[in-house]
Amino acid sequence: MKVFAVVLVWFTACLHVAIAGGSADQSPLPLPERGICAHRGAMSTHPENTLPAFLEAIHVGVHMIEFDVCLSKDGQLVILHDATVDRTTDGTGNVSELTLAEIKKLDAGIKKGKEFEGIRIPTFTETLSIMPDNVWLNVHLKGGKELGAKTAEIIVKEKRLHQAFLACGSETARGARRIHPDIMICNMDRQSDSMDYANATIESGAQFIQLLGKGEVSKEALSKLKQHGIRINYYVADTPDMVRDLLKAGVDFPLVNNPGLMMKAAVEMGIPPLQPVFRLETN
């Protein structure tokens, strides 16, 4: 990995943050009520699901960061969207058939541009280690009960229960809740009718929902979700106008691929960039 490039992004981000004093056992910081969710980090400008992409998203002040977690052959949690490494790295093969050591040899940056050459696929723990304490962590799980349980174990161990939620189906959620019954869930058992999806989410006891569409949302569904205190994500908003319209309609967190650009629309809506607060200690 080109360590200098990563450190430079990290240092730039840190110029704009406060540092949380004391230990990670202190009372958690408040989380944003609404704002911009960086889909796989700043994936329009950086290699998706990598530390530089997440650091750039933090730097521009996003309020939520979405990333994907899957299992390697040897049961390690790695950050990757696809079932294979073919699209985003210089390697080939199924993630489930590669060990962590094999995955770590792959270049996850070169396909985005030569300036990102040498960037590696991060583990879940590595990803958590760079995250502020006051940003939502939208953890999209690409697997079943085993992945749910292992992810929940790390979230508990790293004291991220206050900010991390698992975007997954009901089976995966059951695996996670066996580890910690109160872990937050975003219901991803989508149904074609948004009202049906809203009702199913409420009945499941989930704390988040992720609506899909082309910029239009059901006012009836939004109203009912709000009544039950469910936070509303939306995939995906790819223009500033769409971001503004979704926020006006009542969506809490539009997922975007270019958070630097979309943040301007949030500011126009009275939502300032998040000032990230990092923990001083992690143990």
The pLDDT tens digits for 78-114 are: 999 999 999 999 999 999 999 999 999 999 999 999 9
pTM of the model: 0.93
Helices (H), 15-74: 51-60
Residue 283 reports pLDDT greater than 50: no
Are 119 and 107 contacting, i.e. CB atoms less than 8 angstroms apart?
yes
Average pLDDT of the segment spanning 12-18 = 48
Spell out the domains of the chain, with CATH numbers in brackets.
3-22+34-279 (3.20.20.190)
48-80 per-position pLDDT tens digit: 999 999 999 999 999 999 999 999 999 999 999
Using only C-alpha atoms, the chain has a radius of gyration, in whole angstroms, of: 18
Residue 45 reports pLDDT greater than 50: yes
Average pLDDT of the segment spanning 228-245 = 97
In Å, what is the CA distance from 17 to each residue of 64, 139, 273? 16, 23, 11
Helices (H), 61-166: 100-104, 124-129, 145-157
Residue 9 reports pLDDT greater than 50: no
Q: What percent of the chain has pLDDT over 90?
A: 84
